């Protein structure tokens, strides 16, 4: 298969985009530069906040910028487009309709991975932004794959949003004990695995090397799928 170029619609947020690129490089089974995939990246940090708009449609709409960015990636030679942001997949279908190249869906790939790699999975825990949870993206995808799902309690959701916005996105110290407590609460609720359905949570997973078999990192799943689609090997 001929090598393909990956287009990354980034800036959602910038740290997660940079980590996604780093993850792709580290997960590629490469022995020389030419064994890596080619990437076209638009790290557009000015795109309005996705959760703000999902929760309040009077807030600035990020969709027009994302559509234009996807078109620019296509014009720049990308064969596939990915968005290293779970919440932004609220707009997935509208963006895909405006480009003629395939766009990977991080939520679909993550749930598929959970089903295929978690023995006898019946229930998936979803850790994500309030926007993603409110949109029901992971819930609908779990139902599509025939498994049950659970989301955090209201108190844990508020704590998780604080971790995402006031710690990771703000570049502040992470309360890792609180994050692990939330994961463990999901397990106690009967979840066979817990999906990190926010790319800022993937950054925590990297920085603290959680190394838990019951935690599925959506950004890592997307990186591996991107490598394979672009004709390279996963390490």
Produce one character per residue of 181-203: b if its CB has 16 or more CB atoms within 10 Å, e if not: ebbebbbeeebbbbbbbbbbbbb
- Close Cβ partners of 227 (under 8 Å, ≥ 6 residues apart): 24, 27, 28, 37, 233, 234
Please say if 198 is a catalytic residue. yes
Catalytic residue among 85, 142, 191, 230: 85
CB neighbourhood size of 35 (10 A): 12
d(CA 119, CA 117): 6
What are the φ and ψ backbone dihedral angles of 103, each rounded to 5 degrees? -120, 120
Catalytic residue among 142, 191, 198, 230: 198
Please say if 85 is a catalytic residue. yes
Catalytic amino acids?
A: 85, 198
């Amino acid at each position: 298969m001929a090598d393909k170029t990956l287009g990354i619609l980034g800036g959602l947020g910038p740290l997660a985009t940079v980590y996604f690129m780093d993850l792709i490089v580290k997960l590629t089974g490469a022995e020389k530069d030419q064994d890596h995939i080619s990437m076209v990246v638009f790290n557009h940090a000015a795109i309005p906040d996705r959760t703000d708009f999902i929760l309040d449609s009077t807030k600035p709409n990020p969709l027009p910028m994302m559509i234009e960015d996807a078109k620019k990636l296509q014009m720049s030679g990308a064969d596939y487009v990915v968005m290293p942001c779970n919440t932004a997949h609220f707009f997935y279908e509208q963006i895909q309709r405006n480009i003629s190249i395939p766009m990977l869906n991080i939520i679909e790939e993550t749930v598929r991975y959970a089903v295929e790699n978690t023995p006898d999975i019946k229930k998936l825990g979803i850790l994500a932004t309030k926007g993603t949870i409110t949109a029901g993206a992971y819930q609908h995808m779990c139902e599509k794959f025939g498994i049950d799902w659970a989301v955090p309690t209201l108190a844990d959701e508020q704590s998780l949003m604080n971790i995402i916005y006031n710690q990771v996105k703000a570049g502040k110290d992470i309360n890792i004990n609180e994050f692990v407590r939330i994961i463990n609460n999901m397990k106690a609720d009967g979840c066979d695995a817990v999906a990190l359905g926010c790319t800022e949570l993937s950054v925590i997973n990297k920085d603290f090397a959680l190394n838990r078999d019951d935690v599925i990192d959506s950004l890592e799943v997307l990186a591996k799928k991107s490598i394979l689609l672009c004709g390279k090997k996963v390490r």
